[in-house]
């Protein structure tokens, strides 16, 4: 894995996987063989253009670990991506609260 910068607990990061997927998530920690994330989202196309959906649609929101062998790079996201991520997290939280 190529890490472009050191991240600390709570940082918002972007991860590019070897299969081409991009993930934006809250960084929690890194271990020898995995990166631990909170509420990861990925990009999708919708009627309004590019949107974000939970990385694991069928999973409860929360922690997930990504095998470091599947990571190409990690970077800090653009401000507009961080804002979109924050809105996506709020919307998912509202959906779970309403159900």
Among the listed ranges 11-20, 21-30, 36-45, 88-97, which one has the minimum average pLDDT value? 88-97
pLDDT tens for each residue of 69-86: 999 999 999 999 999 999
What's the pTM? 0.85
User: 64: pLDDT confidence band, cut at 50, 70 and 90?
Assistant: very high
User: For residue 16, which phi and psi values (nearest 5 degrees)?
Assistant: -105, 125
Do residues 29 and 9 touch, judged by C-beta distance below 8 A? yes
Please, which residues have CB within 8 angstroms of residue 94's CB and are 6 or more apart in sequence?
A: none
Q: What is the mean pLDDT of residues 34-52?
A: 88
Catalogue all structural domains in the chain, each as residue range(s) with its CATH number: 2-98 (2.30.30.100)
Region 14-27: what's the mean pLDDT? Answer: 96
Predicted confidence at residue 38, as pLDDT, reads 95
């Amino acid at each position: 894995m190529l890490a472009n910068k050191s991240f600390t607990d709570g940082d918002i990061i972007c991860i590019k996987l070897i299969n081409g997927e991009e993930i934006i998530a809250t960084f929690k920690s890194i271990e020898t063989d995995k990166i631990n994330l909170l509420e990861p989202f990925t990009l999708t196309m919708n009627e309004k253009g590019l949107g974000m959906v939970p990385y694991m649609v069928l999973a409860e929101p929360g922690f997930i670990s990504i095998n470091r062998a599947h990571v190409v790079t990690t970077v800090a996201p653009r401000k507009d991506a961080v804002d979109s991520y924050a809105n996506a997290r709020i919307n998912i939280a509202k959906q779970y609260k309403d159900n």
